Amino acid sequence: MTSLERVPRADLLLASRADRINDELDQSAADGWLVYDFRGSNPAFGRLLGAALPSSTRRAFLFVPRHGDPRLLIHPVDAGNFARLGLDVQPYGGRTEMLAKLEMLLAGMRRVLMEYSPGNAIPYVSRVDGGTLDLVRALGVEVLSSADALASVVAAWDAADIASHQRAAQALERGKDGLFSAIKSRLATRETWTEYDAQQHLARLMQVEGLEFDHAPIVAVGAHAGDPHYAPARDVALPIRPGDLVLTDLWGHEAHRPDGSLGAYADITWMATAADYPPGEHVHVWKTVRDARDAAVRLLDERVRAGQAVHGGEVDRAARGVIEAAGYGERFIHRVGHGLGLEAHEAPSLDPGSQTVLEPGMVFTIEPGIYIPGFGGVRIEDDIVVEEGGRRVLTNADRSLRVIRVN
């Protein structure tokens, strides 16, 4: 029997999100949300349509007005694919016609949201090029940032997304356990094994677990652990020796999600020590990072349970305050967390200045870290979902310092 591929219905998906979209438009006093894409340049385009379609090969605009139905402005070569989504599709034949139809699309609009971040404060939001912003502004339309809308609408997960994430997270945990066992084995046999060797081994374990990832995981020791985004390479990788502090950061999503949708990313960081008896400094720095992580989760939980708004910046500052009090403030050199979704880094951003309200359905990391020259680095990372009654840690909440005993 021949089965037909189920046609995705973007109109139904947008209708299910209409209340959240309208709330964001009301709060920003915007008349609509204009989502621009060119060859996959803007992940929000596909996330809002919810469709596993090829990227647009020409410039495409999705407009979601505060009043009225969503509409697509797209080139005829792409119109056939997108016409199946249940939306009003307006084709344009060339640049002149595109500009004329864009003006018609935005007629009467004073302010619209776009994937734009003033001063590029949030790079994951800034997806629209300056020239396209010029086009819209030339029509007399003010462009506002869609950062809060992205966090509230696009970053919000449903139960199936969370289930996909948890399967990915469990696979990452198994990969991490396999890595630590392999390190212990190599140390016991005195085999030279570098960060690069360990990274490649971990990547293979993750692939066996059915995970895909945008780039290989991090395995770092010594000074390299003090570089938050160190990428092991064969020619610079350090050997893993007894007594080393080991940082491993790994992320991935299901390559084949059971329901056919794209898998949701999971992202964890674990610390281990290849010392039978961890040095006091290792333990002290690790406990400081652990306490910072706990302070951030506690603030989030208390606010949500009390029905009070909590901003990304407040969560960052809760963790940062613990690290500063311990005297390591200058050694915490990145934000405390980032959103997760169909990419490893999405909205919301949990940076010190973030005013994004963390709302139910949002999933993000909490990952404070301390990086000290000559010592290395310690980072602990969990994935958190905000729910109506509080927060839930989606990853393994046991963040103990793993001791890889050799003797």
* Most confident segment among 104-108, 277-281, 383-387: 104-108
**Residue 118: closest CA among 80, 144, 83:** 144
Q: Based on the domain organization, do 297 and 164 belong to the same domain?
A: yes
Q: Based on the domain organization, do 129 and 166 belong to the same domain?
A: no
pLDDT above 90: residue 393: no
pLDDT above 50: residue 392: yes
| Parent domain of 80 | 10-154
Q: Based on the domain organization, do 207 and 276 belong to the same domain?
A: yes
Domain CATH for 69: 3.40.350.10
Q: Based on the domain organization, do 143 and 221 belong to the same domain?
A: no
Per the model's pLDDT, the better-predicted residue between 403 and 115 turns out to be: 115
CB 127 within 8 A of CB 44: yes
Confidence of residue 355 (pLDDT cuts 50, 70, 90): confident
The last residue of one of the domains, among 135, 154, 173, is 154
The answer to whether position 3 is within a domain reads no
The last residue of one of the domains, among 154, 186, 212, is 154
Q: What is the predicted pLDDT for the residue at 1?
A: 31
Q: Number of structural domains, the chain?
A: 2
pLDDT above 60: residue 7: no
Q: What is the predicted pLDDT for the residue at 5?
A: 42
Parallel, antiparallel, or unpaired for β 402-403 and 266-273?
Answer: parallel
Confidence of residue 157 (pLDDT cuts 50, 70, 90): confident
Q: Based on the domain organization, do 216 and 257 belong to the same domain?
A: yes
Q: Based on the domain organization, do 198 and 115 belong to the same domain?
A: no
Q: Based on the domain organization, do 164 and 189 belong to the same domain?
A: yes
Q: Based on the domain organization, do 163 and 140 belong to the same domain?
A: no
How far apart (Å, rounded) are the C-alpha atoms in residues 7 and 9?
A: 6
How far apart (Å, rounded) are the C-alpha atoms in residues 17 and 36?
A: 19
Q: Based on the domain organization, do 123 and 201 belong to the same domain?
A: no
User: HEC states along the chain?
Assistant: CCCCCCCCCHHHHHHHCHHHHHHHHHHHCCCEEEEEEECCCCHHHHHHHCCCCCCCCCEEEEEEECCCCCEEEECHHHHHHHHHHCCEEEECCCHHHHHHHHHHHCCCCCEEEECCCHHHCCCCCCCCCHHHHHHHHHCCCEEEECHHHHHHHHCECCHHHHHHHHHHHHHHHHHHHHHHHHHHHHHHCCCCCEHHHHHHHHHHHHHHCCEECCCCCEEEEHHHHHCCCCCCCCCCCCECCCCCEEEEEEEEEECCCCCCCCCCCEEEEEEEECCCCCCHHHHHHHHHHHHHHHHHHHHHHHHHHCCCCCEHHHHHHHHHHHHHHCCCHHHCCCCCEEECCCCCCEEEEECCCCCCECCCCEEEEECCEEEECCCEEEECEEEEEEECCEEEECCCCCCCCEECCCC
Q: What is the predicted pLDDT for the residue at 388?
A: 83
The answer to whether position 5 is within a domain reads no
Q: Based on the domain organization, do 83 and 20 belong to the same domain?
A: yes
Parallel, antiparallel, or unpaired for β 88-91 and 71-74?
Answer: parallel
pLDDT above 80: residue 296: yes
The answer to whether position 1 is within a domain reads no
Sheet holding 382-387, edge to edge: 346-350, 337-339, 363-366, 382-387, 390-393
pLDDT in tens, 58-104: 999 999 999 899 999 999 988 877 877 888 899 999 899 999 999 99
Q: Based on the domain organization, do 135 and 178 belong to the same domain?
A: no
- Enter the tokens of residue 349: 């951003």
In the beta sheet, which residues pair with residue 58?
A: none
Percentage of the chain modeled with pLDDT above 90: 63
The last residue of one of the domains, among 107, 138, 154, is 154
When pLDDT is averaged across residues 192-209 and rounded to a whole number, the result is 97
Q: Based on the domain organization, do 82 and 194 belong to the same domain?
A: no
pLDDT in tens, 362-378: 899 999 999 998 889 99
